[in-house]
Amino acid sequence: MLRSLLVIAAIGISFIVRGQLCNGSLGDPVVNITFGSGGNNTGYTPTNGYTYTGTSCPNDGFYTITNYTSNCFGNTWHSVKSDHTGGGAFMLVNASFEPGDFFLTTVTDLCPNTQYEFAAWIMNVLSRSGIRPNITFSIETPDGTVLQQFFTGDIYETVSPQWKQYGFYFSTPVNDPVIVLRMTNNAPGGIGNDLALDDITFRPCGPIVYSAIEGQEDTLNICEDNSNSFTLKGDASSDYVSPAYQWQKSLDSGKTWKDIPGANTSTYTRATTGVGNYWYRFTVTEQRTAGILSCRIASNNLIINVHSHPLVQAGVDRILLAGDTIRLSGKVEGENPSWFWNPPDHLDDFTRLDAVADPTLTTNYTLFAESEFGCRSSDLMTIKVVAGIFVPTAFTPNNDGKNDKWRIPYLDPLLGASVRLYNRNGQLVYHTEGETVEWDGTLNGEPQQSGTYIYLIHFKKKRPDMKGTVTLIR
């Protein structure tokens, strides 16, 4: 919870500079100052005479909250396109002529008698030599007692924009965890000492907390039909006197975490889930502070990725004329899948069925696929080889369920045939292109007379036309 502040920023490569290190595990940031998306000064109170300005090139003694800066002061500043994490805003400050505090805020709702990591990202925005930023971070009680300090020393100019993270650890008081964060500029402004500040965080540090998936690595990839349950085990350091446990789950790769109801022992059995990426972790705090989220310490992350099976479509069943060639038109989609047809009989390049001479042959071909994570699927289609195309010469559309339609059974749509049927007056009564042939003896819904009709079959592929007659009997 914040009461007052002022701040600074830019973008590039990142570095980490730390003081005293945490010897255990960390919790989530309980304070996270990101400066939003920029464009206004809402919620930020300047100190030591600093004045807010809307320009992205503030003068000495001014600051702004922005998501970019460029072409400032004869290009003596870096061009910065975004904040430290990308897409947000940062605070950009041109230091005042006198050294002094440029950031001051009060932080509440911390856990008492607990070690915390403080961290902030800073950039020297100068692109050439000049006065270098030199900052003291100070953690104090409200009455001014210093709990911990860290000195950055000179923050050197760089050829390209570079963020540096500075951090150290401190312990909150036993009874009153309210602290004051002070940032002091040890160098004067003028020619230089122009800097940026972003992503100020406080994270609790506690004894080591560890978690594992029993019998597995920390990251597990399984398929959607895997019905196994997995046991997640947590282990907390013996330094905890009376630990309170809580398992958590994240569905957005660790960006946000939610408590799993009832999962408050050192083990958790994960039930079967649908496709997705599931992250888990084990959190611990003392029973006396179990209700304060800012006191929780988190384990390493456990990841269980549930993958879908490949989508496999072998295609519709086909009719092949003896001696012809047909290409199997299967479809496979998924996570980098490999595939093959089985059996390989008569397949000369894994997809083309070639020169099958036996007109009695019927073969079931199965298309198998396997994703890079071992998830498998298959689909089947049938190839029937026939000696030729047989065209029925009569049919009886009397709705008795027997021979009610004129069909050409072996005329496969892949042949691309155009079929036309004419009455004795030369009128076209039926026409189809590259489709299954089924005429019910009507034209525009009206039954046609009994008699002889002439058909003409034209093939787009190199095959002789076929012509003949069919008798409609009522």
Q: Which CATH number fits domain 311-386: 3.65.10.10, 2.60.40.10, 2.40.10.10, 2.70.98.70?
A: 2.60.40.10
Q: Give the pair of three-digit tokens for residue 183.
A: 């940032």
Residues of the chain with pLDDT > 90: what percent? 55
Q: Which of the two residues, 7 and 39, has the higher pLDDT score?
A: 39
Cα distances from 252 to residues 28, 144, 258, 279, 302, in angstroms, run 15, 41, 11, 8, 13
CATH 2.60.40.10 in the chain: give the residue spans: 209-307, 311-386
Instruction: Write the CATH number of the domain with boundaries 394-472.
Output: 2.60.40
Bridge partners for 141 per DSSP:
none
**DSSP-derived pairing of the beta strands 376-386 and 318-321:** parallel
Q: Alpha helices, DSSP H only, in 194-293?
A: none
What are the distances in angstroms from CA 108 to CA 26, 176, 181, 236? 19, 9, 11, 27
Among residues 45, 48, 85, the alpha carbon closest in space to that of 65 is found at: 45
| Cα distances (angstroms) measured from residue 467 to each of 225, 304, 319, 386, 437 | 54, 64, 21, 20, 15
Q: What is the pLDDT of residue 350?
A: 60
Peptide bond between residue 46 and the one before it cis (omega within 30 degrees of 0)? no
Q: In this structure, are residues 247 and 234 in contact, taking their beta carbons and an 8 Å threshold?
A: yes
Distances (CA, A) of 25 to 28, 281, 390: 10, 12, 79
For 13-206, the fitting CATH number among 3.40.50.880, 3.40.50.720, 3.40.50.1820, 2.60.120.260 is 2.60.120.260
Give the residue-averaged pLDDT of 95-112: 85
Residue 377: exposed, middle, or buried by beta-carbon count in 10 A (0-12, 13-18, 19+)? Answer: buried
pLDDT tens, position by position, 374-387: 999 999 999 888 88
Pick among 3.40.30.10, 2.60.120.10, 3.10.105.10, 2.60.40.10: CATH of 209-307: 2.60.40.10
State pTM to two decimals: 0.74
Residue 8 has pLDDT above 60, yes or no: no
Residue 345 has pLDDT above 80, yes or no: no
CB 404 within 8 Å of CB 447:
no
- Tens-place pLDDT, residues 423-434: 999 999 999 998
Query: Mind listing the pLDDT tens digit for each residue in 395-416?
Result: 999 989 899 999 998 888 888 8
Average pLDDT, the chain: 87
- For residues 322-336, average pLDDT: 85
Q: Summarize pLDDT for 135-164 with one digit per residue, the tens.
A: 999 999 999 999 999 999 999 999 999 999
Q: What are phi and psi of 258, to 5 degrees?
A: -130, 140
Please state, for a pLDDT cut of 70, what percent of the chain lies above it: 91
- Between 463 and 11, the higher pLDDT residue: 463
Q: Give me the pLDDT at residue 51, please.
A: 85
